Amino acid sequence: MSPPITPGEDAEATLLQGLYGPRHRFCPTPNPQLKVVLSLDREIDLVELEGICDAVGWSRRPLRRVRKALQNSLLCVGLWRHHPRLPRLIGFARCTGDGVIEATVWDVAVHPLYQGAGLGRQLMAYVLDELEQQGVERVSLFADPGVVGFYSSQGWQLEPLERRCAFWYAP
């Protein structure tokens, strides 16, 4: 049996559902003042996303292209610092793919101010849980040298069957 829900808890649940959608998930952090929420449904503010990309040192792209890329993604996940009126985007990840056999993870970022608290791992776990629920067989990503350990410690297989990654850049 679930514990009884008090009126306050009920109002809080309604607020969170309204802000972050039905599939949101809390991220425990070492700081009790910091309430962080993962969401598949809350719309990503592109200017806030650009701020995170700047902070982690990625090159800028035209916002209209980013908007279209996000619209065409299989899923976009936002990591939010909770605030009842104005949640702030502090992390992000997205996937492309066919939603059945293959999905590929891109643009995994946590704002440097919020790194080191295990939020990146919780972000990736949330992405994989969602893809697994969709029935995707295999998920892939391209890891920069600095994050290879981050992924391999979470059950990702590095270069299985000695596969190598190759890129082609538009001229």
Write out the catalytic residue numbers: 151
Q: Which range, of 1-9, 32-40, 49-57, 150-158, touches a second copy by CB under 8 A?
A: 150-158
Q: Which range, of 15-23, 32-40, 95-103, 115-123, touches a second copy by CB under 8 A?
A: 95-103
In whole angstroms, the minimum distance from the beta carbon of 119 to a second copy comes to 19
Those residues whose C-beta lies under 8 Å from the C-beta of residue 167, and which sit 6 or more positions away, are: none
Can you tell me which of 5, 13, 63, 101 binds a second copy, judged by CB under 8 A?
Answer: 101
Q: Which residues between 109 and 138 bind a second copy (CB under 8 A)?
A: 128, 131-132, 135-138
Can you tell me which of 5, 31, 100, 116 binds a second copy, judged by CB under 8 A?
Answer: 100
Q: Which residues between 26 and 85 bind a second copy (CB under 8 A)?
A: 61, 65-66, 68-70, 72-73
Coil/strand/helix, residue 75: strand
Give the burial string for 17-46 (b: 16+ CB within 10 Å, else e). Answer: eebbeeebbebebeeeeebbbbbbebebee
* # of chain residues touching a second copy (CB under 8 A): 51
Is residue 113 within 8 Å of 90, Cβ to Cβ?
yes
Structure tokens, 81 = 């610092």
Q: Which of 68, 10, 4, 80 is nearest to 42 (CA)?
A: 80
Q: Which range, of 4-12, 30-38, 108-116, 144-152, touches a second copy by CB under 8 A?
A: 144-152
What does the alpha-carbon distance between residue 121 and residue 123 come to, in Å, rounded to a whole number?
5
CB-nearer residue toward a second copy: 34 or 70: 70
Coil/strand/helix, residue 156: coil
Positions that interact with a second copy (CB under 8 A): 61, 65-66, 68-70, 72-73, 96-102, 104, 106, 128, 131-132, 135-145, 148, 151-152, 155-171
